[in-house]
Amino acid sequence: MSEITVLDRKGLELFLDTSEDNVRLVGRGSLSSLVKPVVRRVNRILEDEKPIDVMNDSVVVSSWFPPIPSEPFKRAVKNEVNALLLNRYSPQAVSLNISECSLNCDECNILGDGSQLETEYVKRFIRDSQDLGAVSIGFAEGDPFLRPDLFELIEYVDKEKSIVSVFTPGPLLDKENADKMKESGVHAVITGIKSPVPEEHDKARGMDGAFESAISGMKNALEAGLYVSMHTHVKPSLVETGKIEQIYQLAEKTGVDELTMWDSHPTWGYKDNTEIMLSSEHRNQLLDLRKKANNKKTGPRVFYNGYFESKDFFGCMAGKRWLNLIHNGDVTPCTYIPIEFGNIKQESLKQIWKRMTGFDGFKGKNSCVMQDKEFREKYINPYSVSELPLDYKKL
């Protein structure tokens, strides 16, 4: 089939043209001119990104994106059309930070004792977020394998609506868990590396052998047939010492599908720690690394959040295309912004999402708001760490 319909409504049809070697999104109909920005954005991703897997009937561009074609991908395109034509945003990326952790990292976004949210509430959150349009659900922060109900929750996700990712530091990613993830329908595994130097990684994780277990875990996931991304929060020192290139080489040696680079942010317990933030020059070097890697025929591709959260693509996704659940049922705009807009034990996710998308602080932001000094000084810095997450009613 050379045309795969993605959206068909009066005056507008969007379809994937697979008649050539590459895949591209095409619009036709009287309203097609209105969605040209969406079409251009999707096609830029398809053209500018080295895929991690190309099969006879589908393409996997990244561990972060649904396969093309697939029902989750169709939902993603529909969501973008709704955002453009109706100014109605959907929480396409959903993260669940509801796990304890066995590590003692030097920077951490886990609040309190990392208490575990009851299964019934997590399932309701998953169902409600999918009803709102979620296309990617990630079990993240801490170590999801410490939740005894992890695989029950993974299986609960409707895979016709969303892909599932598991973020883990690696100690519990043995062959058995890797195989169980594959059987449960997990799309990708993301594992963090703090440094290409084992001793430095272990120190940052607060555990001897953390580096070895992370590499071993990624290899177990690859052997199970899962897509694997090596993930790193990039600090200035990684760029200035050339260690970010060494991490790419480590990703290449390990055989993972992708290296994910994420700009470092002031974490919840270190909100004034701005020295870990990148300069524009640092980001330009990461953009060059991304471009170089994705133009190579071999080796892992690179996903860089600074590229996709720029004004040329989606801008800051927090509270527009991303929402995050934490251990006590509070909902925040993303993993990094310590502001809660409601609790799923007290009101519906639909109400919380509506409140979040209407927050003035997120409007007009073309890049990550936690990188925005004005935003931090207005909404975050006046409060103490002990008050986090901040109640939206205080702001």
Task: Tokens for 195, please give them.
Answer: 């440094």
Q: Are residues 41 and 66 in the same domain?
A: no
**Residues of the domain holding 39:** 1-48
Q: Examine the pLDDT at 260 and tell me if it is beyond 90.
A: yes
Tell me whether residue 295 is exposed, middle or buried, using C-beta atoms within 10 angstroms of its C-beta: 0 to 12, 13 to 18, 19 or more: exposed
Q: Are residues 138 and 220 in the same domain?
A: yes
Q: Which long-range contacts (CB under 8 A, 24 or more apart) does 383-388 make?
A: 385/268, 385/269, 385/271, 388/111, 388/268, 388/269, 388/271, 388/338
Q: What are the pLDDT digits (tens) for 334-365?
A: 998 999 999 999 999 999 999 999 999 988 77
Q: Are residues 213 and 262 in the same domain?
A: yes
Residue among 112, 115, 113, 134 at smallest CA distance from 125: 134
Per the prediction, the chain carries an average pLDDT of 90
Question: What pLDDT sits at residue 371?
Answer: 84
- Is residue 247 in a domain? yes
Q: Examine the pLDDT at 235 and tell me if it is beyond 80.
A: yes
pTM: 0.91
Question: If pLDDT is split at 50, 70 and 90, which confidence band does 111 have?
Answer: low
Q: Rounded to an integer, what distance in angstroms lies between the CA atom of residue 329 and that of residue 323?
A: 12
Question: If pLDDT is split at 50, 70 and 90, which confidence band does 93 have?
Answer: very high
- Is residue 54 in a domain? no
CATH number at residue 363: 3.20.20.70
- Is residue 129 in a domain? yes
Question: What pLDDT sits at residue 270?
Answer: 53
Provide the domain count of the chain.
2
- Is residue 53 in a domain? no
Q: Rounded to an integer, what distance in angstroms lies between the CA atom of residue 274 and that of residue 283?
A: 15
Question: What pLDDT sits at residue 272?
Answer: 57
- Is residue 83 in a domain? yes
Q: Are residues 279 and 302 in the same domain?
A: yes
Top pLDDT among 178 and 35 is at: 178
Q: Are residues 124 and 147 in the same domain?
A: yes
Question: If pLDDT is split at 50, 70 and 90, which confidence band does 113 have?
Answer: low
- Is residue 144 in a domain? yes
Q: Are residues 291 and 369 in the same domain?
A: yes
Residue among 200, 210, 119, 122 at smallest CA distance from 173: 210
Q: Are residues 133 and 265 in the same domain?
A: yes
- Is residue 282 in a domain? yes
Question: What pLDDT sits at residue 132?
Answer: 98
Strand 3-9's sheet: what is its strand order? 3-9, 12-17, 24-28
Longest Cα pair distance anywhere in the chain, in angstroms? 62
What is the total residue count of the chain?
A: 395
Q: Are residues 142 and 37 in the same domain?
A: no
Question: If pLDDT is split at 50, 70 and 90, which confidence band does 299 have?
Answer: very high
Strand 227-234's sheet: what is its strand order? 301-304, 258-263, 227-234, 188-192, 163-167, 136-139, 93-97, 322-326, 331-332
Q: Are residues 112 and 237 in the same domain?
A: yes
**Buried/exposed 381-392: b ≥16 CB within 10 Å, e otherwise:** eebeeeebbbeb
Q: Are residues 108 and 253 in the same domain?
A: yes
Q: Examine the pLDDT at 52 and tell me if it is beyond 70.
A: yes
Question: What pLDDT sits at residue 222?
Answer: 98
How far is Cα of residue 331 from the mean position of the Cα atoms in its chain?
16
Question: What pLDDT sits at residue 86?
Answer: 87
- Mean pLDDT score, 375-379: 88
Question: What pLDDT sits at residue 121?
Answer: 97
Q: Are residues 38 and 178 in the same domain?
A: no
**Buried/exposed 1-15: b ≥16 CB within 10 Å, e otherwise:** eeebebbeeeebbbb
Question: What pLDDT sits at residue 377?
Answer: 86
Q: Rounded to an integer, what distance in angstroms lies between the CA atom of residue 79 and that of residue 76?
A: 5
Q: Are residues 212 and 358 in the same domain?
A: yes
Q: What are the pLDDT digits (tens) for 24-38?
A: 889 999 989 988 988
- Is residue 38 in a domain? yes
- Mean pLDDT score, 82-96: 92
